[in-house]
Amino acid sequence: MTALAHVLGEAGPGAHVWHSTRPVSEIRAEADEIAWRCVVLEGGAVVDKASFLEECARGYEFPAYFGHNWDALADCLTDLQWLPPPASGSGGGILTVFEDSHTFARADLDAYSIALEVWEEAAEAWRRIGVPFTVLLRPAE
């Protein structure tokens, strides 16, 4: 079992704080190795709802019709058909690594809390069809 597989097994679906200094390139490679799609969100400039939704649109490669609101985020997170499957094949889950996540939490706690709720709802929707959906929140170290 890889180190990331162990973390994902321990954390389970949903959003979790993950204190790790592993380079994103290693996380992406390991996610691919265990057949998980991996999305990395760069949170350093995320300070409010608008910048969070913009970063989600970039990171998840949302289609042009993405409405930049909470409902649109929820809709897109429970689809994600446009994301390419991992090179190692399908069958794994969906991993989001939110770098510098606490920048957003400190700047706009209300919006951050709503974002966590949306991710939890997405995790539940994916769970119902047997696909793990995990968000690892990495605060700046």
Total domains in the chain come to 1
Give residue 88's pLDDT.
Answer: 66
- What order of strands is seen across the sheet that includes strand 133-138? 14-17, 133-138, 94-99, 37-42
pLDDT of residue 17: 95
CA angle 137, 30, 57 (to 5 degrees): 50
Domain around 55: 3-138
Q: What is the CA radius of gyration of the chain?
A: 14
Give the CATH number of the domain where residue 36 resides. Answer: 3.30.370.10
Q: Is the pTM of this model over 0.75?
A: yes
Residue 91 has, within 13 A of its CA and on its CB side, a CA count of 6
Q: In the prediction, which pLDDT does 84 show?
A: 78
Q: Tell me if 99 sits within 8 A of 138, measured CB to CB.
A: yes
The pLDDT value recorded for residue 89 is 65
**Average pLDDT by stretches of 10, the chain with 141 residues:** 86 93 94 94 98 98 97 96 74 93 98 98 95 94 68
- What does the pLDDT read at residue 90? 66
